[in-house]
A and B are shown apart, each in its own frame.
Chain A
Amino acid sequence: MRRHTRRVFNLCYRFTGNATEAEDLSQEVFLRIYRTLSSYQSAFGAFPTWLTSVTRNLLVDHYRRTRRDRQTDSIDDSMPQLEEKHSSARAPDKLAEASELSIQLQRGLARLSPELRESVILRDLQGLEYSEIQAVLQVPEGTVKSRINRGRIELARILTEMGLKPTN
């Protein structure tokens, strides 16, 4: 339970960049899981994959909803604002301990397009295999691979622009 919760929360947190929103979204994910548990078929895949898939769909819904609400088309404008609001106004104790790198990464992720962002998060922060990501995103493996690749390169570029030095 705790493991799944952490996973879902992290996915939401990395995607939205906001702990409060991530908390609400995680709660919604489990509520949805709880309601649709009867319709869960093992044919769909392992439970964690299903859980990730539900979370991802909810995140996409949420992303579209908030974009419409804010009447902005650019994620580049809305996401950093969210992050700034979060980090200055309301930072949970545990999250305040997150390193400078984590915050920078969060800002960098927020500037990626949702497709690239989710791919990179699933692959490099959640540690999913390509086949699992393919199942979650419901896109061909070639697309998954190229999205992850492009996401990594763009994120590295953004972070370098933000002044992050590469370390080995």
Chain B
Amino acid sequence: MDWNCTLTEERLSDYLEGKLSPAEAAAFSAHMASCANCTETVAQVGSLVNRMHKFEMVEEPPQLIAKILDATLGPRTQKESWRQWFGWISVLWQPRFAMGLAAAVASVVIVSYAAGLTPAKLKKADLSPANVLRSANRQAHLTYARGAKFVNDLRVVYEIQSKLQPEPEPMPVSSPAPAPQDEHNSIPPNSTPQQKSQSSPPASRTQVRSGPMFAFLSTESLADNLAENSINISNRSAR
């Protein structure tokens, strides 16, 4: 292949980047071997390109990014104050915080639905502090009343159960002394069945136990049960 200095210059980049065909590369090398000028040019350009490829990018001035943000997104002070106040939010977007947050929101929603708070029922007036307080108070009382009713029902069930059961057990060794039985006899006849059963002389252990167990929950015979409790306690301390 006929090669000359012009061709060497024209194909120099191809040569450096290895894009010459084998025949062209051979001709290129053959010409270089015979031409000092071209050899020098190739060396100079090759060295320059190598150096330029190794060049690191110049670091931009530190204020440049801030300036760009100023020019595009608005003044920096605004941006900074926004970051100061809401910068911590970005932390919440880490997966574990985000999942925790989602779980917390879900449980709040479930609890509020269970407590009867549905968005559909919610009115504007419900959001005023006085109304919130009132409804919270009402809800608390309702919950307490429901709980008390449930326990009372349970108590009746237990009483009926204990009534229906025969009394096979003899008095245990650790039965109360005769003194409290005198107390029990003074109870008026229209008291609750539980107290009546306790007042009958051979009281079974279950009856003695079940009395104080539920006594604090029944409101109508509170005074009587208090008296009974104090007797039991005094009996134990006497022993």
Instruction: Name A residues whose Cβ lies closer than 8 Å to a Cβ of B.
Output: 1-2, 5-7, 9-10, 13-14, 19, 23, 26-27, 30-31, 34, 92, 94-95, 98, 101-102, 105, 120, 124-125, 127, 145-146, 148-149, 152-153, 155-157, 159-160, 166-168
**Interface segment, one of B47-55, B154-162, B177-185, B220-228:** B47-55
- B57 contacts A7, CB within 8 Å? yes
Instruction: Name B residues whose Cβ lies closer than 8 Å to a Cβ of A.
Output: 9-10, 12-14, 41, 43-53, 55, 57-61, 64-65, 67-68, 71-72
- A23 contacts B52, CB within 8 Å? no
- B58 contacts A94, CB within 8 Å? yes
- B9 contacts A10, CB within 8 Å? no
A-B contact pairs, 22 of them (CB 8 A): A5-B64, A5-B68, A6-B59, A13-B58, A23-B61, A26-B60, A26-B64, A27-B64, A27-B67, A94-B61, A98-B58, A145-B14, A146-B10, A149-B10, A149-B14, A152-B49, A153-B41, A156-B48, A159-B48, A166-B44, A168-B43, A168-B46
- A152 contacts B60, CB within 8 Å? no
- A30 contacts B72, CB within 8 Å? yes
Tell which of A5, A125, A146, A157 touches B52, judged by Cβ atoms closer than 8 Å. A125
- B13 contacts A149, CB within 8 Å? yes
- The closest CB in chain A to the CB of B48 belongs to A156
Known contacts A13-B58, A23-B67, A152-B49; 14 further A-B pairs (Cβ under 8 A): A2-B65, A5-B68, A9-B64, A10-B60, A26-B68, A27-B64, A27-B68, A30-B68, A31-B71, A101-B51, A105-B52, A145-B14, A166-B44, A166-B47
Q: Which one of A30, A148, A166 has the greatest number of beta carbons of chain B within 10 Å? A: A166
Q: Is the interface of B mostly helix, strand, loop or mixed?
A: helix
- The closest CB in chain B to the CB of A94 belongs to B59
- A153 contacts B12, CB within 8 Å? yes
